[in-house]
Structure formats: structure tokens, C-alpha cells
């Protein structure tokens, strides 16, 4: 079983959801310190051809408090109005907007719980199977430091592989994981661009420049569930230290034999500022 453990984020970018595609169980890491300047309570959508920030308030937010101790404030009508203006002409607005409304109006306002609910709703919509648990509801040794704590939770859940986003490559080392019989891999996201042009503009031949790095909301609005699933598979799983893993007996042969999904290389996808193909 592969596991991922990540702090909760409010409708994060597609790379975060690729971790869910790559793993069997996803632990929402909500019993760690809140990061006021991070993306736990905010993200970006496409409005007027540019990235536009949306935010949910977090009363009494402080880096001295755990995420599990904090709640989201009420969702302002203006946020839903902004999403309507941003995506009313997107092809999957009618299917996705009710999902967003259900999440933003969810009764359980705990940050971890609401984010977990959003992940479950998105995965259900996409037909993606993944189990979600809050780390604040799991018994484990919270006195352990970062890497050791991740290893303990992975062992408790019976995981054989731990997958982290590529940004954590400088934070974690393969040796402690391998010593506990766990493969450490990093997910390198390579999602291709997609059409962000309204249907009426497509018919007139106009095409918007692609804006990358937005919330998963943007992908859901412009792409069908099948197209989103295709993009969720656009990544590579990279071992932290292949030679060390081989020495530990966890990996044999070349990189292609690393256990777990190794998605197709899509390095030829277009870059930000280009035009994605619109049909």
C-alpha cells in the first residue's frame, strides 16, 4: 500500500490531487502548526484571463496554533459570486458548481474536516478511489520530529511506500524509510495544459492564453471528468536514492522497476503563456 501525508489545503492545485491518484491512503496532516501565509485557506482561480485569489477567513489564526484547533469562517456570498462570474461560461460549470457550493457550505467548519470533505467530493466526482483520514484522529506519537513522525504513521497504517511531492526532496532521506521497509518516492508533476476558453469564444476563433498553477477548481470547470483523470496521471514517481534502495533490497534493476505507478512522460506539454488546444 502507498500512502501520502499532507497538510490540508483549500481546493489545491492539480499536483496535490496527483498524490491521491498515486496512493491508496491519504492522511490529512491537520495536527501541525497553521501557516498564515500559506495556501491552507486560499488559492487562485481564473477571472478575466488572470489568476485571482480567493480566501476563506480563519478566526484566531496563528502559527502558534494547530490546524486542528482552527475553523474556517462562514463562506461569504461574494466568494460564490466570484466563482460564478469566473466560470459561468465554462463547459462543466453546471456539474461542478453544486459540488463547490456543498463544500463551501459544509456544516463542519474544522479546517481538516472541510478539506477532507472537499477531497472526498472531488474524488467521487472523478471516480478516483482513495481513503482519507485526519491525523488528528489517529493515535500516534506526536512528540516525534517531522520525518520520524511520518514514518511512524506510515508503519501504523501498514504502508509499504510513502509518496511526497517533489518539493519535499530536500527534507526527507531514503535511509530511515528504507530501514523501516518503506519506499520513499517523490512525485514530479507534469500536467499538460488545457483549454480555458469559453465555448462562445471558441466558436469565434478566439483562444485564451493558458494560465497555469491554479486551483483544481479551474481544471474541473474546463475539463470533463475523464480529461481530469488523464491529467491526474501526468507525473513521474522518482526514488529518493535508487542505489540506497537497491542496497536495502527494496528495488532491483533500473528505474523502470521502481514499485508504484510511473506515469507517462509528458515533458513535451506546452508551457505557461502558450495556447492549449481548444476543440
Q: What is the pLDDT of residues 201-256, one digit of tens each?
A: 776 667 789 999 999 999 999 999 999 999 999 999 998 765 444 554 544 333 33
- Domain presence at residue 273: no
- Domain presence at residue 144: yes
- Domain presence at residue 277: no
- Domain presence at residue 177: yes
Domain total of the chain = 1
Instruction: Give the range of the structural domain holding residue 147, as residue numbers without chain letter.
Output: 2-257
- Domain presence at residue 268: no
Residue 151 has pLDDT above 50, yes or no: yes
- Domain presence at residue 53: yes
d(CA 136, CA 17): 21
Cα 276 → chain centroid: 22
d(CA 133, CA 28): 6
Give the mean pLDDT of the chain. 89
Which distant-in-sequence residues (6+ apart) come within 8 Å of 202 by Cβ? 195, 278, 279
- Domain presence at residue 47: yes
- Domain presence at residue 14: yes
Q: pTM score, two decimals?
A: 0.87
Q: Which of 39-53, 55-69, 121-135, 165-179 has the lowest mean pLDDT?
A: 165-179
Amino acid at each position: 500500500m502507498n500512502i501520502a501525508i499532507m497538510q490540508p489545503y483549500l481546493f489545491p492545485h492539480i499536483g496535490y490531487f496527483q498524490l491521491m491518484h498515486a496512493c491508496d491512503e491519504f492522511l490529512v496532516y491537520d495536527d501541525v502548526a497553521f501557516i498564515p501565509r500559506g495556501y491552507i485557506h486560499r488559492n487562485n482561480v481564473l477571472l478575466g484571463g488572470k489568476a485571482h485569489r480567493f480566501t476563506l477567513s480563519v478566526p484566531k489564526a496563528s502559527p502558534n496554533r494547530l490546524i486542528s484547533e482552527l475553523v474556517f469562517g462562514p463562506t461569504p456570498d461574494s466568494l460564490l459570486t466570484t466563482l460564478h462570474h469566473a466560470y459561468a461560461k465554462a463547459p462543466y460549470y453546471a456539474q461542478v458548481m453544486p459540488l463547490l457550493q456543498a463544500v463551501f457550505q459544509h456544516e463542519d467548519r474544522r479546517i481538516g474536516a472541510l478539506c477532507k470533505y472537499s477531497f472526498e467530493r472531488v474524488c467521487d466526482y472523478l471516480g478516483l478511489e482513495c481513503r482519507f483520514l485526519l491525523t488528528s484522529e489517529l493515535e500516534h506519537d506526536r512528540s516525534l520530529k517531522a520525518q520520524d513522525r511520518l514514518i511512524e504513521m506510515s508503519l501504523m497504517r501498514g504502508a509499504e511506500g510513502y509518496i511526497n511531492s517533489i518539493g519535499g526532496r530536500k527534507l526527507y532521506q531514503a535511509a530511515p524509510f528504507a530501514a523501516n521497509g518503506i519506499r520513499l518516492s517523490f512525485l514530479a508533476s507534469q500536467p499538460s495544459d488545457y483549454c480555458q476558453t469559453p465555448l462562445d469564444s471558441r466558436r469565434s476563433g478566439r483562444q485564451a492564453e493558458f494560465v497555469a498553477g491554479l486551483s483544481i477548481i479551474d481544471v474541473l470547470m474546463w475539463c470533463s471528468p475523464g480529461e481530469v483523470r488523464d491529467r491526474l496521471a501526468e507525473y513521474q514517481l522518482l526514488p529518493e536514492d535508487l542505489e540506497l534502495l537497491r542496497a536495502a533490497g527494496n528495488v532491483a534493476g533500473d528505474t523502470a522497476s521502481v514499485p508504484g505507478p510511473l506515469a507517462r512522460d509528458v515533458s513535451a506539454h506546452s508551457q505557461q503563456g502558450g495556447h492549449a488546444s481548444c476543440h
